[in-house]
A and B are shown apart, each in its own frame.
Chain A
């Protein structure tokens, strides 16, 4: 493979300390960096809100915050973690990696790329500012169900507008990914030669384009119901609040795959490297991703089994949901087969990837339990649901994002991170994440409802345990921040390949890669 890119573009790179460079940049690496830092900052803000929630829940009774504020913390925590952390982090990874992985110089639409990032800080400033408004921030849950959400005070239009902005940003990011993958691949990089991270992101991008506008439509209906006298969800005017749930989850279910499919791509990159074997079943991985994406459109009503659906509807959504376990199982077994008899080593990215596989599967299994319509009536809106989606999102998506940062950080900044601290970060995170979320299964099955600031006495011990775990997990993430900053500032120089068996075009570039990589297209074997 020919690789080395001409370095003659460096003349217009401004100092990393100039604001103008970051404000006006159209470089995919700069924008990727911006996305990742934005996501990390939002991660600590959203995490701080989670700790407020857990502090209140440490003991039964009302101790620290009033219920209204508690509810706005659960709502904001969710909105921030979904739209402000996981989605921007994956878009950041896509920006950094996709052009390097397909052998392109940059993203296809660099100016739009700049725009799609810089919308986000405004959207989230607006979202966070609602906490200081009359009536407080949104407190009806991130699912924004009417009529409760329509009782939000002055914050409602700001929340809806910021959701519009977040949607706009992710749609533009998705369009950029698709245009890059379809048009910018190096000669010889056929679709079925693309790394799986690129494949999973391509499919994710299509999901984003299909469902973000539906969410935009749904929240616009909320807005017109509240301020312009329409009655989409107002029973007094002939509407139906359940309609909102259908619209929301038509977006919401593909959204959960938007949050997890790029993780599958990350894990499919990391496992082969540290098992020193090529990925088992590449083509089946691609088809499994496509199947999951398709199925995600026909399962939404499993989030609302209890609204009074006809039996046929419950059965359809139950079986369609359980069907998703098949392609997901294909993926998990492929990762295991990749490791089978491999010469495995356990550097930090691999540890996080293995943690992902084990704990994401636990979340997948509790998802199967929730998919069963008859028993869902017991689990619905309990802490069991909270345990389920935190298992797929924290040791799932978040672990995958952290794994990819450890994996590609030496490539991005040219320095190795501290392996000892990385491993410490992994073990503390893994222990505390389980202390936090595993007990939630038990209190959920025992009937503790979600989104409540106070609870019955019999749930005390497990809640105290979860709070201890949450603080442990939260503070462990400061190690991550330290490791990242330390690696950026210096350390052992990384080689171009970084990892012994890393394969892919990004490892053929120097570490750190030139500001403009692949100005001459690489030759693909």
Chain B
């Protein structure tokens, strides 16, 4: 009996170790997910932003429509609109446009824009050389700011893509701008 108990304890110990490893694997899925998104070009990454546009030659034979869109996450009290709703662009040439944002609340707010590009095939071919989404934006109460954006389409953009939509979602990160603030902030948010 004694040996059987010892054997069972050994099995239990090994299986508990597997559990700990699988808990770690759950966290390992986070970097794996990023790697997978980078490999498949599913997500805009910093890398594409750092490409040097001079490396490309302008393709004047081709005109692609770029549409600009904006979403306010959780009804962030900012009036945001793109300066141009759409632009006709030649791949390989750098264009500059901007978004205009006004903070309609009574306090200083920090916002973060997260870009998203559709169709997915165009994701890795839209290169931003300058973007307000590279850093958070601080806007005072009632202030209106113009946020510049320079971009270029890679001439390698698949031929069947004629319209590219660049959409920004603005998040209110005033509270979570620093972890300490977040910890001291009230945490319960009513479900609306």
Do A and B pair up? The answer is yes
Chain A contacts to B: CB under 8 angstroms: 68, 108-109, 112, 134-136, 139, 150-154, 171, 174-176, 178-180, 182-184, 209-218, 221, 226-229, 232, 234-237, 240, 243, 246-247, 250, 308, 310, 313
- The reply to whether the CB of B52 lies closer than 8 angstroms to some CB of chain A is no
Partner of A183, one of B4, B37, B40: B4
Chain A: CB-nearest residue to B42: A310
- The reply to whether the CB of B189 lies closer than 8 angstroms to some CB of chain A is yes
Asked whether A243 lies within 8 Å of B188 as measured between CB atoms, the reply is: no
Asked whether A310 lies within 8 Å of B8 as measured between CB atoms, the reply is: no
Asked whether B40 lies within 8 Å of A310 as measured between CB atoms, the reply is: yes
- The reply to whether the CB of B135 lies closer than 8 angstroms to some CB of chain A is no
Asked whether A213 lies within 8 Å of B23 as measured between CB atoms, the reply is: yes
For A227, list chain B residues within 8 Å (CB): 183, 187
Asked whether A154 lies within 8 Å of B15 as measured between CB atoms, the reply is: no
Chain B contacts to A: CB under 8 angstroms: 4-5, 7-9, 11-12, 15-16, 18-20, 22-27, 29-30, 33, 37, 40, 42-43, 73, 112, 114, 120, 169, 171-173, 176, 179, 182-183, 187-192
Asked whether A235 lies within 8 Å of B188 as measured between CB atoms, the reply is: no
Asked whether B171 lies within 8 Å of A226 as measured between CB atoms, the reply is: no
Asked whether A209 lies within 8 Å of B19 as measured between CB atoms, the reply is: yes
Partner of B29, one of A184, A236, A247: A247
Known pairs A135-B191, A236-B73; A175 contacts B12 (CB<8 A)? yes
**Assembled-state Cα–Cα distance A451/B40 (Å):** 33
Asked whether A182 lies within 8 Å of B120 as measured between CB atoms, the reply is: no
Question: B176 to nearest A CB, angstroms?
Answer: 6
Asked whether B43 lies within 8 Å of A182 as measured between CB atoms, the reply is: no
Asked whether B23 lies within 8 Å of A217 as measured between CB atoms, the reply is: yes
Known pairs A109-B8, A179-B11, A209-B15; A232 contacts B191 (CB<8 A)? no
Among B5, B176, B191, B192, the most chain A Cβ lie within 10 Å of the Cβ of B191
For A135, list chain B residues within 8 Å (CB): 188, 190-191
Partner of A232, one of B12, B19, B30, B112: B30
Partner of B26, one of A108, A152, A235, A247: A247
Known pairs A151-B189, A247-B29, A250-B29; A179 contacts B112 (CB<8 A)? no
Asked whether A153 lies within 8 Å of B176 as measured between CB atoms, the reply is: no
List 16 additional contacts besides A217-B24, A243-B29; criterion CB under 8 Å: A108-B4, A108-B11, A134-B188, A139-B191, A175-B11, A176-B12, A178-B15, A183-B8, A209-B22, A210-B22, A217-B23, A218-B26, A235-B114, A236-B171, A243-B30, A308-B120
Question: A138 to nearest B CB, angstroms?
Answer: 10
**Assembled-state Cα–Cα distance A139/B192 (Å):** 11
Known pairs A214-B23, A229-B183, A310-B42; A183 contacts B29 (CB<8 A)? no
Among A136, A174, A182, A183, the most chain B Cβ lie within 10 Å of the Cβ of A183
For A171, list chain B residues within 8 Å (CB): 19
Listed by A's residue number, 18 A-B pairs whose Cβ atoms lie within 8 Å are: A108-B4, A109-B9, A135-B188, A151-B191, A178-B15, A179-B15, A183-B7, A209-B18, A209-B19, A210-B18, A212-B22, A214-B25, A235-B73, A235-B171, A236-B73, A236-B112, A237-B176, A310-B120
What are the nearest 7 A-B pairs in CB distance? Answer: A217-B26, A236-B171, A108-B8, A213-B23, A229-B179, A213-B22, A214-B26
Asked whether A236 lies within 8 Å of B176 as measured between CB atoms, the reply is: yes
Asked whether B191 lies within 8 Å of A68 as measured between CB atoms, the reply is: yes
Chain A: CB-nearest residue to B114: A235
Question: A295 to nearest B CB, angstroms?
Answer: 18
Asked whether B22 lies within 8 Å of A226 as measured between CB atoms, the reply is: no
Chain A: CB-nearest residue to B170: A236
Question: A185 to nearest B CB, angstroms?
Answer: 11
**Assembled-state Cα–Cα distance A134/B182 (Å):** 21
Asked whether B20 lies within 8 Å of A217 as measured between CB atoms, the reply is: no
**Assembled-state Cα–Cα distance A214/B26 (Å):** 5
Asked whether A175 lies within 8 Å of B191 as measured between CB atoms, the reply is: no
Asked whether A214 lies within 8 Å of B22 as measured between CB atoms, the reply is: yes
Asked whether B27 lies within 8 Å of A217 as measured between CB atoms, the reply is: yes
Question: B101 to nearest A CB, angstroms?
Answer: 15
Asked whether A226 lies within 8 Å of B187 as measured between CB atoms, the reply is: yes
Among B20, B25, B40, B73, the most chain A Cβ lie within 10 Å of the Cβ of B25
For B43, list chain A residues within 8 Å (CB): 240
Question: B134 to nearest A CB, angstroms?
Answer: 12
**Assembled-state Cα–Cα distance A198/B183 (Å):** 49
**Assembled-state Cα–Cα distance A216/B73 (Å):** 28
**Assembled-state Cα–Cα distance A109/B16 (Å):** 13
**Assembled-state Cα–Cα distance A211/B30 (Å):** 16
Known pairs A175-B15, A178-B11, A210-B22; A228 contacts B191 (CB<8 A)? no
Asked whether A216 lies within 8 Å of B15 as measured between CB atoms, the reply is: no
For A136, list chain B residues within 8 Å (CB): 191
Known pairs A153-B188, A175-B16, A250-B29; A228 contacts B40 (CB<8 A)? no
Known pairs A175-B15, A243-B29, A243-B33; A216 contacts B191 (CB<8 A)? no
Partner of A152, one of B33, B114, B191: B191
Asked whether A183 lies within 8 Å of B11 as measured between CB atoms, the reply is: yes
**Assembled-state Cα–Cα distance A213/B19 (Å):** 6
For A243, list chain B residues within 8 Å (CB): 29-30, 33
Known pairs A153-B190, A183-B4; A235 contacts B169 (CB<8 A)? yes
For B20, list chain A residues within 8 Å (CB): 213
For B42, list chain A residues within 8 Å (CB): 308, 310
For B26, list chain A residues within 8 Å (CB): 213-218, 247, 250
Among A135, A150, A214, A227, the most chain B Cβ lie within 10 Å of the Cβ of A214
Question: B54 to nearest A CB, angstroms?
Answer: 28
Question: A456 to nearest B CB, angstroms?
Answer: 23
**Assembled-state Cα–Cα distance A218/B188 (Å):** 20
